[in-house]
Amino acid sequence: MDIDVSKLFNTCLLFVATIVVAKLISAFIVPKSRKRLPPIIKGLPIVGGLPRFLKGPIFMLREEYPKLGGVFTLKIFHKNITFLIGPEVSAHFFKAPESELSQQEVYQFNVPTFGPGVVFDVDYSVRQEQFRFFTEALRVNKLKSYVDQMVTEAQDYFSKWGESGEVDLKYELEHLIILTASRCLLGREVRDKLFADVSALFHDLDNGMQPISVLFPYLPIPAHRRRDQARKKLADIFASIIASRKSTGKSEDDMLQCFIDSKYKDGRPTTEAEVTGLLIAALFAGQHTSSITSTWTGAYLLSNSKYLSAVVDEQKNLMGKHGDRVDHDVLAEMDVLYRCIKEALRLHPPLIMLLRSSHTDFSVTTREGKEYDIPKGHIVATSPAFANRLPHIFKDPDTYDPDRFAVGREEDKIAGAFSYISFGGGRHGCLGEPFAYLQIKAIWSHLLRNFELELVSPFPEIDWNAMVVGVKGKVMVRYKRRELSVNQ
Ligand code: HEM
């Protein structure tokens, strides 16, 4: 009996102890975890950080990161935008499934431009299939035929330059890239016959994407009205091209053909409206981004004699090996030029802010070991423009140093997969990256082989106000024809 009493006593003690411990856990740990919200950027009542954000998100990040570290929240009205800066905390941003961090809500503003039934207007399962169409249209065998068209376009375009002269390189490269994109993506019919009409319509689509459109994409303003009319006209043009290709049984080597031939898993072919929408999306993803990057590459090469000689020497070596031939495989050997482009893109990623919407709570740990819980409902953001210049990843981050990517240094890899994020990464990494590099290399290898170039305007500034952040003002370049020879 005595033993039973002591057993009972011990059991009661254990029970009480368990409750006390549970209470302690709930009193300290659970509320503590609720308290682990990221620090908040100081702002005004009601509007919060809106004025600072509008003044320039990168300037705001430059001020706040040293004070708050890699994770912090900006309040704008009732919205919370939590920034995850640096590979230690941004991994979840890039790797999380759509059910946890989604693009659909934050990129909704693209819907009136791309049109109904595609990309951010459809469920994730359909969008995934549409991105499969992109992947297939950008496979190596397709890229090989696009490269031949890129090279021809560059030759034709620069053949119109004189023996010597001065040009705005930014304007020239924008135009060449529209022509090339038109040929490889939109197809021969547009490039050969309808170029003027279609590029004017794309111009209206472009102008219909204003900063205000991000918040109010359907606001009845003239720019939006012109955008909507342009999209309808483009849909008509592509419907008739598609119908003519189908009726004549003609097949071409372009993205348009790939999208026409694409089928969903259930066997359903793409509609004409979907093909049009996907082409518009491709042009929006790839045109400004590539032309801006080609311009920055030029500005840096023409301001850095060390790297200019290195890329010229590489061209000479390749000419010694392959003669004048420039195709996919020759472009693939242009490693020095590749690193020079990649470095221009590190310093100037055209997409400065990437966004997601959080559907579940998640936690991140900063490189200093601080843990933060990011609640469901926050908009989550990361910034290639800021993260690409973090000094703990990139040595002398503001210096143009393409060798940082060479074997032995590889600064883009040593801090993990998400150190260099000009093309995003993970689940939604850019599908057009190889296309973009090929296109920019094709242009620059032609320029280096055929011209002596000199930058005559000051080194360009950044145009932070553009939706796709690029180069401010003109980039004046003096050129003189020369034929590079292997023994020069
Ligand atoms: C220098 C040129 C380019 C840059 C800097 C660039 C940058 C990016 C970035 C940062 C993303 C990720 C967006 C996010 O995570 O929210 C992305 C996605 C994408 N890009 Fe590019 N891009 C370039 C060229 C192209 C080209 C030429 C194409 C197609 C022809 C293209 C097609 C796409 C597509 C389809 C996606 C969406 C992938 C997905 O969500 O799964 N891009 N790009």
3-12, pLDDT tens digit by residue?
454 554 455 4
**What's the pLDDT score for residue 242?**
95
At 121-159, the pLDDT tens digits run 999 999 999 999 999 999 999 999 999 999 999 999 999
**What's the pLDDT score for residue 31?**
47
- Read off the tokens for 425: 């990464």
Across 306-450, where does the E strand assignment appear? 354-358, 362-365, 371-374, 379-382
Distance (angstroms) between ligand 1 centre and the Cα of 128 equals: 14
Q: Quick check: 441 pLDDT over 70?
A: yes
Is residue 89 within 8 Å of residue 364, measured between CB atoms? yes
Mean pLDDT throughout 358-375? 96
What is the number of the ligand 1 atom nearest to the C-alpha of 435?
27
Instruction: Specify the 3-state DSSP secondary structure of 374.
Output: strand
User: What value does the mean pLDDT of the chain take?
Assistant: 92
Mean pLDDT throughout 190-198? 90
For the entire predicted model, the pTM comes to 0.92
Distance (angstroms) between ligand 1 centre and the Cα of 430 equals: 4
- The CB of 287 under 6 Å from ligand 1? The reply is no
At 378-390, the pLDDT tens digits run 999 999 999 999 9
- Read off the tokens for 392: 């703990």
- The CB of 213 under 6 Å from ligand 1? The reply is no
- The CB of 110 under 6 Å from ligand 1? The reply is no
Distance (angstroms) between ligand 1 centre and the Cα of 431 equals: 6
Calculate the dihedral angle through the C-alpha atoms of 485, 476, 441, 138, rounding to the nearest 10 degrees.
-150
Pick from 153, 163, 82: nearest CA to 353 = 82
- The CB of 425 under 6 Å from ligand 1? The reply is no
Pairing of strands 476-481, 461-463: unpaired
- Read off the tokens for 154: 């560059």
Distance (angstroms) between ligand 1 centre and the Cα of 282 equals: 9
Distance (angstroms) between ligand 1 centre and the Cα of 327 equals: 23
Distance CA 53, CA 45 (A): 15
Distance (angstroms) between ligand 1 centre and the Cα of 140 equals: 17
CA distances from 487 to 315, 319, 321 (A): 12, 10, 12
Distance (angstroms) between ligand 1 centre and the Cα of 367 equals: 28
Distance CA 70, CA 87 (A): 9
Q: Of 51-60, 78-87, 399-408, which range is least confident?
A: 51-60
Higher pLDDT, 204 or 414: 204
Give me the numbers of helices (H) and strands (E) for the chain, helices first please. 21, 12
**What's the pLDDT score for residue 8?**
47
Distance (angstroms) between ligand 1 centre and the Cα of 137 equals: 14
What is the number of the ligand 1 atom nearest to the C-alpha of 384?
10
Is residue 21 within 8 Å of residue 15, measured between CB atoms? no
Q: Quick check: 444 pLDDT over 80?
A: yes
Distance CA 344, CA 301 (A): 9
Distance (angstroms) between ligand 1 centre and the Cα of 320 equals: 35
- The CB of 350 under 6 Å from ligand 1? The reply is yes
- The CB of 107 under 6 Å from ligand 1? The reply is no
- The CB of 432 under 6 Å from ligand 1? The reply is yes
Among protein residues, the one with the nearest Cα to ligand 1's atom 18 is: 430
Distance (angstroms) between ligand 1 centre and the Cα of 436 equals: 9
- The CB of 431 under 6 Å from ligand 1? The reply is yes
Q: Quick check: 443 pLDDT over 50?
A: yes
- The CB of 87 under 6 Å from ligand 1? The reply is no
Pairing of strands 79-84, 379-382: parallel
- Read off the tokens for 464: 């932070």
Q: Which of 142, 430, 437, 440 to mutate to test the pocket of ligand 1 (most atoms within 8 A of CB)?
A: 430
- The CB of 351 under 6 Å from ligand 1? The reply is yes
Distance CA 156, CA 166 (A): 18
Pick from 378, 341, 343: nearest CA to 358 = 378
Angle at 449 (CA atoms; ends 447, 454), nearest 5 degrees = 50
